[in-house]
Amino acid sequence: MKTLFYALVVLVFTSSLYAQTAEDSSIPYDSVEEALSTLESNAEATLTEYEGWKIFNLTENGVYILWSFTPAEHPAHPSVVKRSILKKSDKLFIDMEALCESTNIFCGALMEDFNAINEQIINRESSEP
């Protein structure tokens, strides 16, 4: 059963590996700038800043959502990564999408970095009693 779960996680990560454009994403914004502006004005979104990253946290319909905006000096800037985190039956699921306005190489590297972070989160969660 655990193998099936990890296979599904890998499938989700693989299908989201490369950044998407606004046309093929469920991110409801046409640009990174529009996403940032909208989240900044959302009273339900809590902003945290870490090493230049702007990270907005909010909950929608029981799903915890993290919006992570690249700092200006990041190679994939401007980009935003949206991670929807849901725990179901003691299993953690992370769906990830991005709106990346940089080159494909930098956008791909950004997604690989986030895939690694997501795997760490899932591994830590699955190892806790």
Looking at this protein, which amino acid is placed at residue 42? N
Q: What is the pLDDT of residues 74-106, one digit of tens each?
A: 999 999 999 999 888 888 899 999 999 999 999
Count of alpha carbons within 13 angstroms of residue 84, beta-carbon side: 12
Report the distance separating Cα 41 and Cα 55, nearest Å.
14
The reported pLDDT for the residue numbered 25 is 62
- Percentage of the chain lying above the pLDDT 90 cut: 65
Give, for 26, the enclosing helix (H) or strand (E). Answer: none
The reported pLDDT for the residue numbered 126 is 79
The reported pLDDT for the residue numbered 15 is 35
C-alpha distance across the termini of the chain, in Å: 17
- DSSP letters for 15-72: HT-S-B-GGGSS---SSHHHHHHHHHT-TTPEEEEETTEEEEEEEETTEEEEEEEPPT
The reported pLDDT for the residue numbered 31 is 96
Helices vs. strands in the chain: H and E counts, helices first = 3, 5
Has residue 8 got a pLDDT over 50?
no
The reported pLDDT for the residue numbered 28 is 93
Mean pLDDT of the chain: 83
Q: Average pLDDT in the 43-62 region?
A: 96
* Tokens of residue 76, six digits: 């994939």
